[in-house]
Amino acid sequence: MTNASERLMKTSTNPEKDSYALRSAVGGCLAMAAIMGIGRFAYTPLLPFMLQEGVLNEVDAGFVASSNYLGYLIGALMAARAPLPGSPYRIFMIALIASTVVTFLMAFNLGLYWYVIIRFLAGLASAYAFVLVANIVMQRLAETRSLHLFPIHFTGVGIGIAGSSLMIEWLGASLNTSAQLWIAGGVLSLLLTICVPLLLPPKNELPSKAVQTSAPPTTSTKPLNLSAWRLIIAYGCFGFGYVITATFFGALANSTPELAPMKSLGWLLVGLAVIPSVFFWEKLAARIGYGIAIAIACTLEAMGVALSVLVPTVAGLSMASILLGGTFVGITSIGLIEARRIAGSNPRQIVGLMTAAFGVGQMLGPSFAGYLYELNGNFMLASLVAAGMLILAALLTLKRFIPT
């Protein structure tokens, strides 16, 4: 059977539309690099520096990370209901700018509650920007029959992670404090933010011939069926399952002298693995089914999470990095494409709810891991529980999802 991506590629014959679609995907990619790669995930490679300086301890670090994901949860729920005035594009740009501002604000050490508030705001901004830009890019690609380009949008996460890791590795030896590294991250985020509207401008600034006229939005929303809720719950398990390793990877590596070089290099491997993974999982999902592809990816990620604590060597952490980076963004990407398929004419509701479920898992994971670290002195039990949650997510997605 012909691959869905190949069918979409064959339908696009207008160079202007092709250029518009590619620019939209690349604009989304840069936005994701700023929002997720830096605004959300720079905390992971910078956390070892903050722990070493005594700015935070492991329990506080988990609390701060959980506040970020609480903000992410609230932002996702608000984005699903769109209560703010203005167009989705305008709100997205405000959230993108806010994400950059709060990255700069992390440079100020005003105590634990300051970090809690700032990371909460960062989560709020990243959820709004994530939900809205994903829908904006997906809609523009759908209008030009170019959904096969959607994985480009998600490579931004890997580019942002890899770029910030390289920056931290390069500057970490010369800059004296984590505060200076947060400022460097803010500068990188600002440069990306400036580029986004050049590639992904407001719709009314685009050439009128570039996009096909889309159908007017529907005003009614059908209730989600059990199949949709199964995907949402699986997404929540996935959020819990990946976040402990994603938050404490640098701290885990830094806890053993021989693994210390992996605190940023391991995170670099995560980012590099992300970039090709989104294309791989989209193509595999189109061939074997999106639910089965998600199940396979969750299983591989569970193996990576378990390896990070069961094989505490450079080789073990390297493989854990590759398995984590090679799956978690791919699951997000193909999960959203499947959500759009089963949601019909109103994907915004299910995308928002999936992001919210993801946020619940993320919010619980770091605090859970921080307190277990205080009890046991390591991340072993927390990581194994996380691996179990990923296996549960895999089981929930094996059965085919039925459209609403």
**Span 382-404, mean pLDDT?**
91
Distance separating alpha carbons of residues 70 and 55, to the nearest angstrom? 21
All residues at 6 or more sequence positions from 315 whose CB lies less than 8 Å from its CB, including other chains: none
Q: Is the pLDDT of residue 209 over 60?
A: no
**What are the CA-CA distances from residue 35 to residues 44, 82, 89, 193, 376 (Å)?**
14, 19, 15, 9, 34
- Per-residue pLDDT of 159-188, as tens digits, reads 999 998 888 888 877 777 899 999 999 999
Model confidence pLDDT, tens digit, residues 307-322:
999 998 889 999 999 9
Pairs from 345-350 (Cβ < 8 Å, separation ≥ 24): 345/217, 345/218, 346/218, 346/221, 346/222, 347/135, 347/138, 348/80, 348/82, 348/131, 348/135, 349/80, 349/221, 349/224, 350/224, 350/228, 350/231, 350/232, 350/404
Please name which of 245, 319, 273, 44 lies closest in space to residue 154, comparing C-alpha atoms: 273
Tens-place pLDDT, residues 54-66: 999 888 998 899 8
Residue 30 has pLDDT above 90, yes or no: yes
Q: To the nearest whole number, what is the mean pLDDT of the chain?
A: 85
pLDDT band at 114 (very low <50, low <70, confident <90, very high): very high
pLDDT at 151: 82
Q: What's the rounded mean pLDDT across residues 142-159?
A: 86
Q: Please, what are the domains in the chain?
A: 7-204+222-396 (1.20.1250.20)
Of 331, 236, 238, 326, the closest CA to residue 282 belongs to 331
User: What is the mean pLDDT of the segment spanning 381-396?
Assistant: 95
Angle among Cα 94, 95, 97 to the nearest 5 degrees reads 65
| pTM recorded for the entire structure | 0.81
pLDDT of res. 386: 95
C-alpha 212, offset from chain centre: 30
